[in-house]
Chain A
């Protein structure tokens, strides 16, 4: 670090510019990561927080894949499913787009209709009581005990549940009677399974397609497409930062080749010089990336008031660490050049 920090201070203009570039890239990466996490929470949080471990869909038509919207696994299949080996419990769940009216305002929601008392249903759910997602509760200023109207019937709010969004709409957990006023929706079975679960046997016996809850996010409308394109943007930004850092350290190493030759001539080993230069890259990446990440976190907190945005360790520290890691890989690629510097060039005759 001895030489690295002195070079950093001596050439501070150049390093400040490069740090700013790293900072701006990290700003973009962290903003995109927070937005991706926010959108994904809006899209699938009600699915990933389902209390079961597997989901059974009706067998999709040839050439199509299973989907929450188009599955028609009738509640009558529940008893057959519950009897299959390895299934400890099964509960029917119907997802339907609907409208909720509260205090004269209407909101588009997704109704998650479940039998009160079944294991998927929130504890407070009953024939005339519903549970609302916290997003809806916040937007409509609903609290426990308030009344909402769904399809012409009144229900009391029994509970406000966290992580309840589906396909960018808030979720209302309701009894099946609330489906009366809707055009209907997709129905699936949520399963709790044990060690003896036989997927093929189950699918044959019930006429279903089974996925784990985690995999079933691919069956949520546009989730795969939107998540895929945002992830691709983040990956490309990471690659850009590795290339930019690599290009910077290539030029920087070429510029200081005479210094490197002298240092080698007075006895520096290549390993020492590479470690020293890598520590310089690390300082650059951590300081530049750290500042960009802090700025992004601050902007993200502001943005979270109007757009779905998540600011936590997984959307700030994790992308920062990844950026530092790929930046170091880029720098390391450039610093291989140090090995090829010939100390004999420090002597006059060879220059």
Chain B
């Protein structure tokens, strides 16, 4: 199975007064296509920093980063945006949809960024909305959707560019337990069906059963979670 994400010895430090705070301490992580990895840990442990590095939103001090077998260490801002547009799917904590766009348009926007539009794009958007169970809601704007529906649109949007790697930031934090579990089940299903590598950062340990592997982040160090 091919590797969706490979982090080797990645270190990130932040300035903190006179010293530097180590957010990631020589972290290594491999995620295969079709595999879903959960990263848990207390706030401030560095799990969001891990997501930012894997999402090319933050350049690490040292270490090596590969996405879908391609070395993407130390790319400039523009090239990093290109990789995010073509190879990455990001799902945010609050779904972060654009207020003026309908559910379908949220997905079409992704294709627009890559210069694609028209009937095939629309068809793919509808197919993905169908896959997350939102066929009926395609023409609704975010304020007309429930929290769970918004999160599903966010997941469909992240899949729009057929990414090699899905990065999920606290997908259940704004949802009750039942809806949160449904969202995580959906993520596990798309990971399997679409052979995408998925990293989910969460502090909700009740959702770990749906994942293949769970890692724990403590003080910038990553280790397999001992149940």
Contact = CB atoms under 8 A, between A and B. Distances in A.
Interface in B27-69: 43, 48-49, 51-52, 55, 57-58
A268 B105 contact: no
A288 B104 CA distance: 30
Nearest to B157: A266
Contacts of A347: 48, 51-52, 55, 57, 92-93, 169
A267 B85 contact: yes
Contact of B85 (A2, A268, A270, A350): A268
A7 B100 contact: yes
B173 A348 contact: yes
Contacts of A258: 96
Contact of B86 (A267, A270, A272): A267
B84 A262 contact: no
Contacts of B94: 348
Contacts of A264: 81
Given A267-B81, A267-B84, A262 B100 contact: no
Interface in A305-324: none
A3 B57 contact: no
Interface string B73-95: 00001100111111010101110
Interface residues of B, number: 42
Interface string A335-351: 00000001110111110
Interface size class of A (residues with CB under 8 A): 20 to 34
A62 interface: no
Given A6-B105, A258-B96, A265 B113 contact: no
Interface in A164-192: none
B204 to A, nearest CB: 13
Interface of A: 2-3, 6-7, 9-11, 258-259, 262-270, 272, 342-344, 346-350
- For the complex of A and B, the 7 pairs showing the least CB-CB separation, nearest first, are A267-B85, A349-B48, A10-B100, A348-B93, A267-B84, A344-B57, A262-B96
Interface of B: 43, 48-49, 51-52, 55, 57-58, 77-78, 81-86, 88, 90, 92-94, 96-101, 105, 108-110, 112-114, 117, 141, 157-158, 161, 169-170, 173
